[in-house]
Amino acid sequence: MSEVHSGVAPSEGSQLDTSVSFREKATKGKVGFRRKLWLFWALLGPGIISSLSNNDAGGMISYTMTGAVFGISFFLPLLFLLAPIDYNMQEMSMRLGAVTKTEYRELLLRYFGKFWHYASVAALGLANLMYIITEFVGMTAGLTLMGLPLWLADLISFAFVSFVMFFMGYWSKERLGILVGVVNVVFIIVAFMTHPDPAEIGKVFTSWPSITWDLKSDGMLVFILATIGNAIAPFMLYYNNNTTLDKGLTRKDLRLGRIDIALGSLLQPIFAAAVMICGAALMGNVANLDDSNPADLITAFVPVTGRIGSILFALGLFNAGWLAAITISFSSAYTVAGAFGWKRSQNNKISEAPKFYGLYFGCLLLGAVVILIPGLPLSMLAVFTQIFATMLFVPDLIFLVLLTNNRKVMGEYANSGWKRLLGWGIISLYSAVSVVTIILTLNGTMS
C-alpha cells in the first residue's frame, strides 16, 4: 500500500525524516547476533514509557487508596485482566503512525473534520491538566515530609521535570525515560517489606470475587471505575503515535514495536499490583482516608515497613510523577503544536522549536501552580482523575478504531476481524464506564 495522501500540504514542523530508517540508524556497523540485540535495545521506548507513565503518581495514589480500603482483593486480578486493553490501544496507535507516517491528530482532521479535531485537542488538554496536577501532588508528597514547605517542594519538582528539555534529541530523552521507569522496582521492594500473605494473594486469583455496589457502604463501584479508567489514558494514544514518528518506525518495525508495547503492558499491572499490596498493609491504619493526602499515606508506612520503606515508597511516588509529567506534557505539546502547525519534535533543540517546548514548559507550570491552592482533597482527586479523564477519551477510542479499520488508510495493515471486535468491545466498556460516571455524578454520589 502507498502512504496516505491528501490535498493537505504537510504542516510546518512535520517531524518525519525518512531518509534514514530506524533500522539503519539502530544497527549501523553491527552484524549477526549483536545486530539483533542492539536492535531490540533500540526499539524499547514508546510502549514501555507510555505504559509506565500510565502508572503515574495519581494512579499509584489511587491504587494505594484501593488497597487501603479493600485490602488484598479482586482488584489485583482485575489489573491483569485490563492489561490487554492497554496493549491493543497502544498497538493500534503505534501501527497507525508506522504505516501512515502521519500523526493521529492530522488524520482526525483529514477524515472527520475540524470539529472533532479541535474537540479532541481540547479534551486531551483538559485530561492532561488533571493528570499533571496529580503528578505534582505525588512528587511533592515525600519532599514535604522531609520538612520542605510545599512551595519549595513544588519548585524542586518543577525543576526536575523541566530539566528534560535540555537533553539533546529524542533518543537521549527516551533512554532517560526508560531509566526513570526502572525505578518502579522500589514498589515491589516495599510490597515485600509489608510481608503480605502469599496464600491470601493466591486466593483472590483463584476464587470468585465478592462485589458490592452500595456506594454508601464502601464506594467499591467508584474504585472499580477508577481501576478500569487507569488501564488507559488519553495521553498514551498521542504520545505513542507521535514518538513512533519521532523514532522513525515503519511498517517493517511493527513486530518489534509490538514487543515494546507488550513488555510495557506486562510491567504496568505488575507494578500496580505491588502498590495495591502496599496499600493493603495500611488497611484500617489511615484515619479519614477520603480526606487524606499522599503525605498521610507515606507516613502510614512507617509502623508497617519502618522509615526505610516509607522513604522508598515516597521515592517511587516521586519517580512515577516525574516520568508521567514528562510524557503527559510532551503529548500535550505535540498535539497543540500540531494543531497550529508549529515545529514539534523532541529531536529539535529548544531554539529550533521554541513554541513546542514552550507548551511543554507551560503545561508543567500550570500543574505546579494549581496544587498550591489550599484545601484540595489531593488523594481522592487522584482517584476521580482516572475516572473523568477516561470519559474524555471515549471519542478518541472510537476514531482510533475507525481509522485502523479503514483499508483506505491502512491497506493490508488494517485491523483483522478479531481486532475490530476487540476494539469495539473496549469502546463499549469505556462508554459504559462513562455512562455510569455521569449517572453517579448527577445523583450526587461521586461528590
Neighbours of 411 (CB within 10 A): 15
pLDDT beyond 90 at 34 = no
What average pLDDT is seen over the chain? 84
Higher pLDDT, 20 or 71: 71
Segment 356-400, tens digit of pLDDT: 999 999 999 999 999 888 877 766 677 778 778 888 889 999 999
Q: Provide the pLDDT for residue 160.
A: 87
Q: Provide the pLDDT for residue 14.
A: 44
36-50, 104-118, 385-399 — which one is most confidently predicted on average?
A: 104-118
Nearest-CA neighbor of 347 among 248, 234, 231?
248
Segment 302-347, tens digit of pLDDT: 999 999 999 999 999 998 998 889 889 989 998 899 888 888 888 8
Q: Provide the pLDDT for residue 446.
A: 56
DSSP character string of 231-293? T--HHHHHHHHHHHHHHT--GGGHHHHHHHHHHHHHHHHHHHHHHHHHHHTTTT-STTGGG--
Higher pLDDT, 271 or 29: 271
Q: Provide the pLDDT for residue 31.
A: 55
Segment 174-193, tens digit of pLDDT: 777 888 888 889 999 999 99
Contact present, 158 and 368 (Cβ < 8 Å) = yes
Higher pLDDT, 41 or 64: 64
Residues 256-281, mean pLDDT to the nearest whole number? 93
